[in-house]
Copies of this chain bind each other. A is one copy, B any other.
Amino acid sequence: VLAELEGVEALEIPFGDGFRLPAGLATAGAALTMVCNPNAPSGTWIPIEDLAELAGKVTGILLIDEAYVDFAPHNAGHLVKEFDNVMILRSLSKGYSLAGLRFGYAIAQKNVIAGLMKVKDSYNVDAIALTLATAAIKDQAYFEKNIERIKRQRQALTEQLRTLGFDVSDSHTNFIQARARAGSAAAIHQQLVQRNIYVRHYDIPGLRDKIRISIGTEEQNDRLIAALREIL
């Protein structure tokens, strides 16, 4: 969307089989190569060594969007030290459960950040968001408890959905993709909406036979499972 607004050519290169990095990404000659890892909405994850290899091949900046990384096995933070063309984006909306705060940040070497500063507005993020984000990042004990809680619920929900007959691959994010064996994902989505339960259904290749479920609280997940039992 932003590239279109700025009149910049944007090239979309589809994932390879099993949501692996496509070979075309390294040879596209882009000024900016973007990879979302873990990826949304697929929930899949690219090993960091594949990203390191890509960083060495691309001609411009490799931007790794790590919005969901707090739920993944590893992050790519150390690549910023090894590569002067890697920039990492993080968000407090997922792992810190602070979506309402709209607070994110970038990690890159000084000269890359200096490029961003050229087009930054004069004023900074609001004082309350800065204070809350700082407090949240400092309280790693609470953060880790939050992540563990979400991972535990993710595991429980995955097992319950499998028992109900869904194909669920292991998630590296705070959401699950559940494939309805009967191929009725759109219908299930509609019937959940009628019960005021909001999951996502994407009518795009590779996803139209699945529903995407954000991990809720234990009560919310129980309500979802009860509703799915009724529907099925």
Please name all residues of chain B whose beta carbon is closer than 8 Å to the beta carbon of A123 when the two chains form the complex.
102
Q: In residues 69-109 of chain A, which contact B (Cβ within 8 Å)?
A: 100-103
> Is A112 among interface residues, defined by CB-CB distance under 8 A?
no
* Copies in the assembly, this chain: 2
Docked pose: A128 CA to B130 CA in angstroms: 12
Q: Which residue of B lies closest to A2 (CB)?
A: B121
Bound Cα distance from A102 to B128, whole angstroms:
10
Q: Confirm or deny: A204 has a beta carbon within 8 angstroms of a beta carbon on chain B.
A: no
Q: In the complex, A101 Cα to B125 Cα: how many Å?
A: 9
Chain B residues within an 8 Å CB radius of A132: 128
Which residues of chain B are within 8 angstroms of A128 by Cβ–Cβ distance? Answer: 100-101, 128-129, 132
In the complex, whether A182 has a CB less than 8 A from a CB of chain B is no
Query: A128 vs B126: C-alpha distance in the bound complex, in angstroms?
Result: 10
List residues 127-148 of chain A with CB under 8 A from any CB of chain B.
127-129, 132
A220 to B5, CA, bound (A): 46
Partner of A129, one of B1, B5, B122, B129: B129
* Distance of A28 Cα from B129 Cα, bound (Å): 41
Q: Which residues of B contact A103 (CB under 8 A)?
A: 126
A8 interface hit (Cβ, 8 Å)? no
In the bound complex, CA of A111 to CA of B141 (Å): 49
- Please report the C-alpha to C-alpha distance between residue A5 and residue B122 in the assembled complex, in whole angstroms: 13
Does A31 lie at the interface of the complex (its beta carbon under 8 Å from any beta carbon of B)? no
A117 within 8 A of B: no
Shortest 4 CB-CB contacts between residues of A and residues of B: A100-B127, A102-B126, A101-B126, A5-B119
Given contacts A102-B123, A128-B128, 8 further A-B contacts (CB under 8 A): A100-B126, A101-B126, A102-B125, A102-B127, A103-B126, A126-B129, A128-B129, A129-B129
